[in-house]
């Protein structure tokens, strides 16, 4: 046996931002599968206290983070990351990626993961042109979303598209990969909120711990 230690496998890090209002199995199953497909060590799941392009959620950022933490439980490689809760003002992904870049260093492949619905609005994001300077972008298919890309998005992406994980991971940032994960799920947080406000069950749509926390705290339930 050689006594030369084998070189440590280089790190790969991911970030999945969202409102998580509340977290559901569509988020969590996609997070697990994207981590597996990309070979990520850690996927940071980052709730936005104040998402810039949508109405302010009714449930506080701290409560949404607590639900996310409960939903992740002991799932290896998924991390409920509270860093945006410590920042003032709107939650911009470019700032979060810059922090992660600083934390992990310049050489580590860093991947921002977003669903296709969010991707369609990417060109409207704050400092969108800087995203590819900080990270790769992986877009996961979402059932029900198939619109053509707006011109501004085509311009933003340019010729960054690659067709394999291996090609993407040769560099630390700068590529776009479109992915169809094995388990496509139609679940959305809007659907969960609607069912809860109608007094209907959300069992098997969210993890059991999330369902219990929602009921214990009386979240999303209509007051009438």
Residues that bind ligand ATP (CB under 6 A): 18-21, 26-27, 30, 114-115, 117-118, 140, 142, 185, 187-190
Residue 20 or 132 having the CB closest to ligand ATP: 20
Residue 7 or 55 having the CB closest to ligand ATP: 55
Does residue 27 sit in helix, strand or coil? helix
**Helix ranges restricted to H, the chain:** 25-38, 61-72, 93-104, 116-119, 131-134, 151-157, 165-168, 189-197, 208-217
Residue 4 or 222 having the CB closest to ligand ATP: 222
- Within 8 A by CB and 6+ apart from 144, the residues are 186
CA distance 214 to 210: 6
Residue 160 or 195 having the CB closest to ligand ATP: 195
**CA-based nearest residue to 134, from 165, 169, 166, 175:** 175
Residue 21 C-beta: closest distance to ligand ATP, Å: 5
For ligand ATP, which residue has the nearest CB?
Answer: 115
CB 63 within 8 A of CB 214: no
Cis peptide bond N-terminal to 135, omega within 30: no
Residue 79 or 140 having the CB closest to ligand ATP: 140
Beta bridge partners of 17: 46
């Amino acid at each position: 046996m050689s006594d030369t230690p084998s070189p440590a496998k280089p790190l790969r890090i991911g970030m999945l931002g969202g409102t998580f209002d509340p977290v559901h199995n569509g988020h969590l199953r996609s997070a697990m599968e994207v981590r597996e497909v990309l070979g990520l060590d850690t996927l940071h799941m980052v709730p936005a206290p104040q998402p810039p392009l949508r109405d302010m959620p009714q449930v506080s950022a701290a409560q949404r983070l607590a639900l996310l933490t409960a939903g992740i439980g002991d799932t290896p490689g998924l991390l409920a990351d509270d860093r945006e809760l410590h920042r003032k003002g709107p939650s911009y992904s470019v700032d979060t990626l810059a922090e992660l870049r600083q934390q992990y260093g310049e050489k580590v492949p860093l991947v921002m993961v977003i669903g296709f619905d969010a991707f369609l609005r990417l060109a409207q994001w704050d400092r969108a042109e800087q995203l590819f300077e900080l990270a790769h972008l992986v877009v996961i298919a979402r059932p029900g979303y198939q619109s053509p890309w707006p011109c501004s998005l085509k311009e933003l992406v340019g010729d960054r598209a690659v067709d394999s994980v291996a090609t993407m991971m040769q560099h630390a940032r700068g590529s776009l990969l479109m992915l169809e994960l094995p388990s496509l799920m139609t679940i959305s947080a809007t659907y969960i909120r609607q069912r809860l406000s109608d007094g209907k069950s959300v069992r098997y749509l969210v993890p059991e711990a999330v369902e219990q926390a929602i009921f214990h705290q009386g979240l999303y339930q209509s007051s009438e």
